[in-house]
Structure 1
Amino acid sequence: MDKGQHILVIRAGALGDTILTFPAIAALVAPGNRVELLGTLPYTELAKTPGLAHDVHSIDRARFRAFFDERAEDTELLAFLEAFDLIVAWARLPLLGVKADRLQLRYVETSPNPPESVHASDHLMASVRALGFRAPVAPPELRFGDPGPLLDRYGLRPASFVAIHPSSGSPKKNWPPHWFAEFARCATAAGQDLLWIQGEADHGVVSRLSRAVPGPVAAELPLRDLATLLASSAAFIGNDSGVSHLAAAAGAPTLALFLSTDPRQWAPRGRSVRVVEAGASPEAVWGFTLVLKKSPY
């Protein structure tokens, strides 16, 4: 394998989709290559950390329209692409092959969707192994700075609180709010502080739950700040959502609740993750949390 390659990775998707690419990106970087990620902002910004992408780009920029529309002017796109030695696309771009062939660029195009029962990260890693790269020993862990100011903002101490995100991008994935309320009561009865996590579409459910079981609300934080805060938690619990993937990638002990999606394909990856499927009681899941908190790295 030649070293010092300049590699473009293309993966447009949501927060969880983006985070699940990070182990494969780390494999591409490891031999000393320069890797840039083309995808969806702000999620791709998380990859700008040591051991992952050296730079990131938004696929929504006008010059990348020429990947999809043969009538679009492609001069700027071709000038961008010619800087690379290899393109690894975990996407279906109708005109990628046409543009790469014009520049005589080596490229690999793989569907981002894993086969049945195959985890998405393993599926992407297989495409990287086929190029001769080695998988990292463990998923890369996201670290973005000192959590102190964020903890002070919410009146919390490190490893003293359970972070709860009771929503996701789809109602079909969400466990019922009353279940989260009962889980939160289990946590507070055990002496744990709470931190409710609120995204842009979560105001209603988080407002109701934080009134029912009081605790500070971290509302619509920038992703790097949210990752830093979650890394300081005693544990995180949430549905199959991008925030659950972020918590796991930040190193938080993570309980991921699955309802309508397959955890064999989409479970978060991290140092301490447990998947819980439908039917578990809040009390039982609180017991799982205690085990996760004590698990060694």
Structure 2
Amino acid sequence: MQHANDSALNVAVTTSPALGDSLLLMTVARNLQLSGKTVTVFSQHMRALRDWFPGIDIQPALRDDDADALLRPFDTVIQLHANRPVPRLEQRHPDALVLEHLCRAPSTEPMAGRLAQFCRESLRLHHAEPGNGLAVPAGLIHRKHRLRVAIHPTASTPDKRWLAPRFVRLALELKAKGFEPHFIVTDEERADWEHVQQHGIGLPRLGTLDNVAAWLVESGWFIGNDSGIGHLASCLRVPTLSLFMRNGIARTWRPGWGAGKVLVGGAWLPTGRLKERCWKYALSVNQVLRAFQQLQREAA
């Protein structure tokens, strides 16, 4: 990006369908905009949260059949993955920046920090920070319900999901300690979790991502799998405990904004394959409770 300091630079940022990736790439969009660049974001999830990103032009996600025409006017196009959302982006735009190498970089920083470092070192935005510009709309009160624990028991793929019965036991243990556990699931997942209401565990019907964010920001705590909802909670500065299958994945993809802890299941297992298959069985409810207690002390 040889002309990164050109104040007239017109940049498109395209995000994948993943919520976490989208929130992370908003770090680049935010820092470019603060440096005086004209930035347009194409993103399904960020479009749903456009009221939470004031001053940033956020358009619907690109489709493959209209991507070339929509991206042609931009000087530079940035996306995180080589083929998501725009396949072969580097062949389709003369000044495309694909940041996938940052995901594999030998760094101790989470992705939010890596993207900010990329902005400073490669884009020469010397004051770049990990913040992505998310701002809570008026009328919502940060952590208004201090005892409410938002629990996200699902994830994009089954290998990332801790055991469902253990999530229920965790919620019951928290309830016995005076907390108010609630499970956050999509409308499509709801049927698999309605039984938790029999135990006095909340199951709010939130619907849109905008409603999820509004409910999350007023929650006291978040516990969940490696997922975009964990990144959203972290963006909202809700103390976050995230459950991961492997140390390397946790190091790269842990939420990187507010107070948070990660817990890796079966880190003692000898191979990566065993870790991925067995982590959810190796991680006990008591381990998660102890990590949550540590998070409480650190967040205090």
TM-score after normalising by structure 2: 0.77
Deviation at 1:142, TM superposition (A): 4.5
Distance in 1, Cα, partners of 2:138 & 2:90:
40
Amino acid paired to 1:115: R
Q: Deviations over 1:100-148 (max 9, x none)?
A: 44xxxx4433337611654433444454331212364443344234347
Distance in 2, Cα, partners of 1:157 & 1:97:
46
1:232 aligns with 2:218: yes
Q: Deviations over 1:187-227 (max 9, x none)?
A: 1112111222111442244223332x313212352112211
Give the equivalent residue in structure 2 for 1:109: 98
Instruction: Provide closer, same or farther for how the CA distance between residues 181 and 89 of structure 1 changes in structure 2, counting only shifts above 3 A.
Output: closer
Alignment of 1:1-297 (within 5 A): 1-39=5-43, 41-46=44-49, 49-50=52-53, 53-60=56-63, 62-64=65-67, 66=68, 77=69, 81-82=72-73, 84-92=74-82, 93=86, 96-97=89-90, 100-101=93-94, 106-111=95-100, 114-115=103-104, 117-118=106-107, 119-128=110-119, 129-134=121-126, 136-140=128-132, 141-147=134-140, 158-211=145-198, 213-259=199-245, 262-278=249-265, 279-295=282-298
Deviation at 1:296, TM superposition (A): 5.1
Deviates more, 1:256-265 or 1:123-132: 123-132
SS in 2 for 1:114: helix
SS in 1 for 2:242: strand
Deviates more, 1:9-18 or 1:91-100: 91-100
Distance in 1, Cα, partners of 2:226 & 2:187:
16
SS in 1 for 2:146: coil
Report if the CA contact (8 A) 1:48-1:56 is conserved.
Answer: no
Distance in 1, Cα, partners of 2:239 & 2:60:
31
Instruction: Provide closer, same or farther for how the CA distance between residues 258 and 217 of structure 1 changes in structure 2, counting only shifts above 3 A.
Output: same
Deviates more, 1:270-279 or 1:88-97: 88-97
Report if the CA contact (8 A) 1:161-1:194 is conserved.
Answer: yes
Deviation at 1:4, TM superposition (A): 4.8
Give the equivalent residue in structure 2 for 1:73: none
SS in 1 for 2:183: strand
Report if the CA contact (8 A) 2:10-2:37 is conserved.
Answer: yes
Distance in 2, Cα, partners of 1:229 & 1:183:
21
SS in 2 for 1:8: strand
Instruction: Provide closer, same or farther for how the CA distance between residues 62 and 217 of structure 1 changes in structure 2, counting only shifts above 3 A.
Output: same
Q: Deviations over 1:217-249 (max 9, x none)?
A: 123521122112111111111111121111111
**Superposed structure 1 runs of 4+ greater than 6 Å apart:** none
Deviation at 1:21, TM superposition (A): 1.4
Distance in 2, Cα, partners of 1:204 & 1:117:
41
Distance in 2, Cα, partners of 1:95 & 1:175:
34
Give the equivalent residue in structure 2 for 1:74: none
Instruction: Provide closer, same or farther for how the CA distance between residues 112 and 26 of structure 1 changes in structure 2, counting only shifts above 3 A.
Output: farther
| Structure 1 alignment gaps of length 5 or more | 67-76
TM-score after normalising by structure 1: 0.78
Distance in 2, Cα, partners of 1:62 & 1:169:
26
Report if the CA contact (8 A) 1:177-1:209 is conserved.
Answer: no
Report if the CA contact (8 A) 1:166-1:175 is conserved.
Answer: yes
- Let me know the Cα RMSD of the aligned residues: 3.1
Instruction: Provide closer, same or farther for how the CA distance between residues 94 and 170 of structure 1 changes in structure 2, counting only shifts above 3 A.
Output: closer
Report if the CA contact (8 A) 1:30-1:51 is conserved.
Answer: no
Amino acid paired to 1:170: T
Deviation at 1:53, TM superposition (A): 3.1
